[in-house]
Structure 1
Amino acid sequence: MTSLEPNPLFCVAVERRGETLVATPSGELDVATVPQLAAALREHDGFARLLIDLRPLSFMDSSGLRLLVAEHDRAQRGGYELALVRGGAEVDRLLRVTRLDERLPLGEADALGL
């Protein structure tokens, strides 16, 4: 499978809510599916806030972590706000073990407006 082929274990929903772009990846975010999420995020511009909802992810590997860090850096350079909705136990554990929970802007869904 190439990264351009759809993966049945992964999908991304993107919705604009005013000045906020909400991206909701679901399934397994890994080396095979990161390009799908990256492409979905690059298709949109002109937003003041990017909200990535991690709750529907059942799995995330280091490729997913790299994408989140890169998006955080891109937001700082691009002048928009990035917010991440905390995911399930496995995703949260990965962020905690790597200490990225201290670097990335994580929050609960209701506090972030979802």
Structure 2
Amino acid sequence: MRFAMGVYELAFTMRERVAGGTVVMELTGEIDILAEQTLGQRMEAVAARCRGELVLDLRGVTFLDASGVRLLLRVRARAVRCGAGLRVVRGGAMVSKVIRIAGVEPAFAWLEEFPPAAVGSVPA
């Protein structure tokens, strides 16, 4: 959470959309405990109603901590339980390092870039 001009604003966002038949969740900003608490139920709900391919896009993530890793694992678990295929677009070097150090990299199917089939979109 940031404080600017007398107003608190969230340091993260999540946008969901459908692109080429794929449900995409784009995360941006700082994915920490506040993001987990704020976005957790919404992200799990998206994963629960997805019956096809789900892509989690981390390219806009600037910070990730253990709570953020836990959030990613929660979304993965929900997607698996509901029969969705989950792929994750890698974030920057710091995000990748946190995931590697946490030892959860093998839990995800990784994409080095955004899938071409998912270009163009409509809100989910």
CA distance in structure 2 between the partners assigned to 1:43 and 1:81 by the alignment: 13
CA distance in structure 1 between the partners assigned to 2:96 and 2:89 by the alignment: 10
- Per the alignment, in what secondary structure is the counterpart of residue 54 of structure 1? strand
Distance 1:101 1:79, change over 3 A: same
- Per the alignment, in what secondary structure is the counterpart of residue 27 of structure 2? strand
- 1 or 2, which has the higher strand percentage? 2
1:78 aligned onto 2:82: yes
- Out of 93, 98, 112, the position equivalent to 2:97 is 93
CA distance in structure 2 between the partners assigned to 1:17 and 1:36 by the alignment: 24
Distance 1:97 1:46, change over 3 A: closer
- 1 or 2, which has the higher helix percentage? 2
Name the aligned partner's letter for residue 18 of structure 2.
Answer: R
Residues 83-111 of structure 1: CA deviation (Å, up to 9, x unaligned): 1100001100011111211222222124x
**Contact 1:21 1:47 survives alignment (8 Å):** no
| Structure ID, larger Rg | 2
How large is the Cα RMSD of the aligned pairs?
2.1
Q: Please, what TM-score do these two structures have when normalized by structure 1?
A: 0.82
Q: Please, what TM-score do these two structures have when normalized by structure 2?
A: 0.76
Which residue is equivalent to 2:24? 22
| Larger RCO (CA within 8 A; separation ≥ 6) | 2
Distance 1:101 1:87, change over 3 A: same
Residues 19-56 of structure 1: CA deviation (Å, up to 9, x unaligned): 31111110000001123332432257244111110010
Please list every run of at least 4 consecutive aligned residues from structure 1 whose deviation after the TM superposition is greater than 6 angstroms: none
Q: Percent of pairs identical after alignment?
A: 30
Name the aligned partner's letter for residue 68 of structure 2.
Answer: G
